[in-house]
Amino acid sequence: MSDHVLVVGGGVMGLLTAYNLAAHAGRITLIDRSAVGQESSWAGGGIVSPLYPWRYSPAVTALAHWSQDFYPRLGQRLAVDTGIDPQVYTTGLYWLDLDDEAEALAWARANGRPLAAVDISATYEAVPVLGPGFGRAIHMADVANVRNPRLIKALKAALSAMPNVTVREQCEVQGFLLDGQRVVGVHSAQGEVLADEVVLTAGAWSGELLQTLGIDLPVEPVKGQMILFKCAADFLPSMVLAKGRYAIPRRDGHVLIGSTLEHAGFDKTPTVEALNSLKASAVDLLPALAEATPVQQWAGLRPGSPDGIPFIGALPRHPGLWLNCGHYRNGLVLAPASCRLLADLLLGREAVIDPAPYAPQNRIPL
């Protein structure tokens, strides 16, 4: 057991890492450069599945399946403990007119997932507001979405109730403290913070921080923009996805449309071009939205990584430093499994998933 664990980055990875470790460490300090959960964890759509799960490697699939099975329990536990319901909402998901439908169905058979082709007329019966002209559909009934801003609030509330956890916001980390090669803390805007173990969960900023140690972590910001509509609570009964764009219903009638994929550095400015493109996709999917005005538009920065495979585990060159970052488009999907795996490795327990595909020493030039 470590006396003091410092978690750098307060998105869903950092919050859930701290949540998993709190019962096993003397003290936990979580530091964030702004307010917790205000970057990609807030900005994402919250679909509890990769958009096209069959297009990912077994490494991503293993984390996704564990997390998908765990999310309902996590949501219930947080709702009971904090009074804040993250609204893990099982609506199912329809994929429309896929070019690789055969590959998707073969993947589902091989992985035992309940994905099946459905008659297009049955799809229109199930989702009457769906736009015309779609010819084929596949459906997975058990796909949920989580209301990610509420998940962040619930995790923060849970940590705030733990006497051995300290959350420090508006505290930017500028580099790492070393004793020889061992990482023993960080330099921050509020001074030095010492710790026995440091876990880096800084999302799109993780690569910049590791550069201070001369380590080239292939994680970079990838901008995504979304828009939000307010509809009747029963307007959209299921998530739908076509041509790379999706519509996600919340329980109260809000409908999210996303998202763009842009390489624009750390710029998070919403653009008119993205707004027009997302509105056009919204109307293609759900023509009734032609008469609606988006109530909000925003942008976030995904932590892009090669093949979307996160970096989870220790950095052998710098004992005391652990990574849990680089989840690209699937941070909310993969968070429960990733944070459980990180906790298993740090605490020396049997790992819930084979850690080898995510091990930093196998994937970063050190």
With beta carbons less than 8 A apart as the criterion, state whether 173 and 186 touch: yes
Res 362: pLDDT: 84
- Per-residue model confidence (pLDDT) at position 1: 56
pLDDT of residue 365: 75
Q: In this structure, are strands 182-188 and 321-325 parallel, antiparallel, or unpaired?
A: unpaired
CATH architecture of 4-45+150-219+306-362: 3-Layer(bba) Sandwich (3.50)
3-state secondary structure at position 266? coil
- Please report the pLDDT score of residue 50 as a whole number: 96
Going from N- to C-terminal start, the domains of the chain cover: 4-45+150-219+306-362, 93-141+220-304
Coil/strand/helix, residue 3: coil
Question: From the centroid of its chain, how far is CA 68?
Answer: 12
Structure confidence at residue 2 (pLDDT): 75
Q: How far apart are CA 345 and CA 292, in angstroms?
A: 49
| DSSP string for 293-328 | --SEEEEEEEEE-GGG--EEEE-TTSTTEEEEE--G
**pTM of the full predicted structure?**
0.96
User: 93-141+220-304, superfamily in CATH?
Assistant: D-Amino Acid Oxidase, subunit A, domain 2 (3.30.9.10)
> In terms of DSSP bridges, do strands 254-258 and 245-249 run parallel, antiparallel, or are they unpaired?
antiparallel
**pLDDT at residue 255 above 80?**
yes
pLDDT in tens, 134-168: 999 999 999 999 999 999 999 999 999 999 999 99
57 CB burial (10 A radius; 0-12, 13-18, 19+):
exposed
Q: What's the pLDDT at 314?
A: 97
